[in-house]
A and B are shown apart, each in its own frame.
Chain A
């Protein structure tokens, strides 16, 4: 079981807005910034959001991140078929003294 809890699956229709949650504790999300990674099948993860709500260059603005208390969320609006893949939240855990990842959420575009 991961220190960070994500729903194993999420879904939406093209054009819809979907959110993926990531729940943690005071030793991780409650005190540090959150990163989100996208992993397409058979490829390495790609940074999608850093510092809880910042987008690297090249990531479209229909993708956003937020954090409140010990939870974080990734939102994808204007859902596209290419968004169908796996998403992971990640954050530094002060108790473990290292980064931890959520279990991952598989997003399906219906």
Chain B
């Protein structure tokens, strides 16, 4: 079955760190760029970060630049998001999403999404 399954979310105190994972199956993971997209409770979608198939191109939203790090392990069919210095504004459902292309590119779209993992930042 073609799917993405996120994990690693939970309740974390402000200023602490958390690492999210996304396990891919049913497609050739190393042939596609991958992304993280988040959605705060009751709010809209926000792109967080993306990484090309070979890690040669990486991008971040300004809101997380310098605090979050995206990575991937093609041998394990897995995508990761290391989140440091978390704040209340980072509370959201974090989705893993598959790009239809290898590279981060203006002609893009996400053709597969996971169900998300919830991150709550609170003391």
Residues of A within 8 A of B (CB): 2, 31-33, 35, 37, 39, 43-47, 50-51, 56, 88, 90, 92, 94, 96-104
Contacts and interface: CB of A to CB of B under 8 A. Distances in A.
Given A35-B109, A44-B116, A45-B113, A96 B44 contact: no
Given A94-B106, A96-B62, A44 B44 contact: no
A32 B106 contact: yes
Given A2-B44, A88-B44, A104-B44, A98 B107 contact: no
B47 A99 contact: yes
Contact of A97 (B59, B95, B111, B115): B59
B62 A47 contact: no
Contact of A33 (B44, B50, B59, B107): B107
Nearest to B60: A98
A101 B113 contact: no
A90 B5 CA distance: 23
B61 interface: yes
A35 B105 CA distance: 13
22 contacts: A31-B106, A32-B106, A33-B107, A35-B108, A37-B110, A44-B95, A44-B114, A45-B113, A47-B110, A47-B111, A51-B107, A51-B109, A92-B105, A96-B61, A96-B62, A98-B59, A98-B60, A99-B35, A99-B47, A101-B46, A101-B47, A103-B44
